[in-house]
Amino acid sequence: MLTKISNFFKYKLKRKVKVFLTFVIFFGLIGFVEKKQASKVCTKVNVSIENTLNNYFINETDVLALITNNGSDQLVGEEYKNIDLKSLEKRIKTNKFIRNCQVSRDLKGELSVEVKQRRPIARIVQRYGPDAYISDQGEVLPLSDRFTARVIIIEADNAENLVEKDLLQTDSGKNIFQLLQFIDSSRFWKAQIAQLYMNADGTILLYPQVGKQVIEFGTATDIERKFNKLKIFYKQIVPVKGWNRYSRVSLAYQNQIICE
């Protein structure tokens, strides 16, 4: 009996020793690989920009300028140990059109830079200031000299408030953003609604691509219900009366469509 117990503990001990040695070898190999990789020299920088949404606000030259501090911090020829990947990512993200980026390195000595752009869904027009975009995440973005996004136009009595303040900080701003998201999420409404005007009292006018109607939307509430009513107008009234029969369509009142 004692022999069996002794053999059992010897077996357990041997197993623990094997596990310990396995961990030592494993972490030793990791350390060796990291040390070897740190001594490698960067031979190339590969930039990949996600343009699946047909936004071309930035290009490879822009990213390389950011990552090299306009050429003053050359990466090619630099040892990996002297390249801080997180610092490079922070530097790239200073461009407002860049939503996210990831910088990685491989064993061949090449740095890979993967960039994802922000996507605008509306353009704010100001009378006394520069225009700006609103992104699909609610951020305010500047215009670009390189690319103009085809998005819904916003004019407002207080357009500067939309540009200067965080849109998602107020309830009214959140409602406006939800309205923009709703239009953007629908292929039909995205193609049909060309412009939005916001009055000082918070009521909204919509201007369509087709037809001469001014659509009185009311405040940015009950969004889906109002667009369902507008769809009834386009499907049931327009085919009978024609596109230009009415100059005003009001959706502001519950369970009513007023056409004049």
Residue 184 binned pLDDT confidence (cut-offs 50, 70, 90) = very high
Cα 127 to Cα 129: distance, rounded to the nearest angstrom: 6
Q: Contact 187/145 with Cβ under 8 angstroms? A: no
Per mean pLDDT, which range of 54-58, 104-108, 113-117, 161-165 is the poorest?
161-165
- Which of 214, 221, 198 has its CA nearest to residue 246? 214
Residue with the two structure tokens 């357990």: 12
18-66 pLDDT, tens digit each: 554 454 444 444 444 444 454 688 999 999 998 756 788 988 999 999 9
- CB neighbours of residue 164 within 10 Å: 11
Neighbours of 118 (CB within 10 A): 20
What is the pLDDT, as a whole number, of residue 102?
A: 94
Q: Of 106-115, 163-172, 238-247, which has the strongest mean pLDDT?
A: 106-115
Residues 149 and 56: their CA atoms lie apart, in Å, by 9
Instruction: Output the pLDDT for position 25.
Output: 46
**Tokens coding 33:** 């690989």
pLDDT at 233 over 60: yes
CA 44/CA 145 separation, integer angstroms: 29
Q: How far, in Å, are 48, 58, 119, 148 from residue 51 at the CA level?
A: 9, 10, 10, 14
Unique residue bearing structure tokens 């996004």:
149
Q: Structure pTM?
A: 0.78
Given CA atoms 151, 135, 60, 44 in this order, what sign does their dihedral have?
negative
